Amino acid sequence: MPTTLASVKGFLACRRVAIVGISRDPNSFSVKLFRELNRLGFDVIPVNPKAQELEARPCFASVKDIQPPIQAVLLMTSPLVTERIVRECFEIGVKRIWMYRAGGKGAVSAEAVQFCRGHEIEVIPGECPLMFLSHSGAIHHAHGWIRKLTGRYPARAAA
């Protein structure tokens, strides 16, 4: 089942989102994405078991530790870690998961995608959320435009 624009819009409608796998390196793309989502009004919660604080925000070791609860999770992990985190998300009732990918496999794991779909978790296996946000910058919109030209942009759901 391919990703639809409805899935993307549903995820982006969630305003309290955890980024799992955010780097401790302030120059990494995960930190830049964190900053951009914060700038756009999201309440972004960093999750990295090796950090106490990131970007002047408390950082959590696990999605299970976050209070108050989160609405959605953006995974920027390796596929093997993704599988474990997806199960933790299920345990705490998270219903929307985005497995980030710009190139290569990113966070996408076929087993984790199958788990999500089998447990009524809306999953976006790939894509960069910045392509879909109206105020995220020209480079991200160009990326989306190229994906439209190549037929790899999420489709509208069938009626």
Domains of the chain, CATH where assigned: 5-149 (3.40.50.720)
Residue 45 — pLDDT band, cuts 50, 70, 90?
A: very high
- CA dihedral in degrees (115, 88, 95, 39; nearest 10)? -120
Q: Which amino acid is at 27?
A: N
- 38-47, 83-92, 128-137: which has the minimum mean pLDDT? 128-137
Cα–Cα distance measured from residue 80 to residue 66, given in angstroms and rounded to the nearest whole number? 22
What average pLDDT does this structure show over 71-81?
A: 95
pLDDT category of residue 155 using cuts at 50, 70 and 90: low
Count the neighbouring beta carbons within 10 Å of the beta carbon of residue 2: 9
Nearest-angstrom CA–CA distance, 146 and 98: 21
Instruction: List the one residue out of 59, 21, 15 whose CA is nearest residue 37.
Output: 15
pLDDT for 91 beyond 90: yes
Distance (Å, whole) CA 66 – CA 17? 11
